[in-house]
A = this chain, B = another copy of it.
Amino acid sequence: MEIEAQTGLAGGSDRSAETRGKILDAAVQEFSANGLAGARMDQIASVAGVNKALLYYHFDSKENLYSAALEMISTKTRDATMATFLRDASPGERVLRSALGHFDRILAQTEFQSLMQQEMMRLHKGESGAMDLLIKRVFAPMLAMYQSMVREGIASGELIDTDWLQIHLASLGTNVFYFMSSQLWRELLPYDPFSPEVLAERRKTVVHFLGLAIFRDRERGAELAEKVLADTPMPEIRVDKSPFGVKHERKK
């Protein structure tokens, strides 16, 4: 028995696995750009270079394909994140590293963030969809690890004595908010908030600020921030920035 068959519903050959991969990639693109309702099955088929009927052959429905795409990208993201937590370093340093990793991951791959935002809004409306699974398999383990990391840091006296969730929210929230509102900053700030230079500066500021905010000894926080930044280069920014996805408009 093979190891796959997690996401797809049909067949199991090499060829079909490859095709499913192409479809999933196209689906991630289309869904992250247009949302579940806004995405067009024809567009996904066209980008994947296959016939529309094939989407229904492999994944039974639009929702099914959506779930599969969501699961694929989430698993990827989880594995990348968990790696940060497991480094050999003090809890405080790992908190800084994970904040930086989060920043870089959003930079390098917008799709996950975009899909999550949409999924949050769907969850709000009670259309849980594929989220239940993700919560158990992706978010719960990540959060548990984060929690024990921060608690360890508080217990050892390295970090200030505050709610561990607050540190988590402050780290992630700042990044998510910045990228979420990116187009707003573009209009509001007198400089381009997504030029490589400005991004590098933001990255620094995020980590330094966190260093000043959460460490008992602010000087140590600043030093660690410096160290973490020094050995983590900023990822390449993808060039396909703004026009990401295709608009679908009704004709008049």
Contact = CB atoms under 8 A, between A and B. Distances in A.
A243 interface: yes
Interface in A117-138: 117-118, 120-121, 123-127, 131-132, 135
Interface string A157-182: 00010110110011011111110111
Interface size, A (range) = 35 or more
Contacts of A206: 166
B184 A178 contact: no
Given A114-B121, A183-B124, A169 B178 contact: yes
A176 B175 CA distance: 11
A143 interface: yes
B123 A209 contact: no
Contacts of A44: none
A140 B201 CA distance: 22
Contacts of A114: 121, 124
Nearest to A181: B120
B184 A174 contact: no
Chain A's interface: helix, strand, loop or mixed, by majority?
helix
A34 to B, nearest CB: 8
Contact of A162 (B121, B131, B205, B242): B205
A135 B244 contact: no
Given A120-B182, A123-B183, A163-B201, 16 more contacts: A35-B121, A114-B121, A118-B121, A120-B181, A120-B183, A124-B183, A126-B243, A135-B188, A160-B212, A162-B208, A163-B205, A165-B205, A166-B205, A169-B178, A170-B213, A212-B213
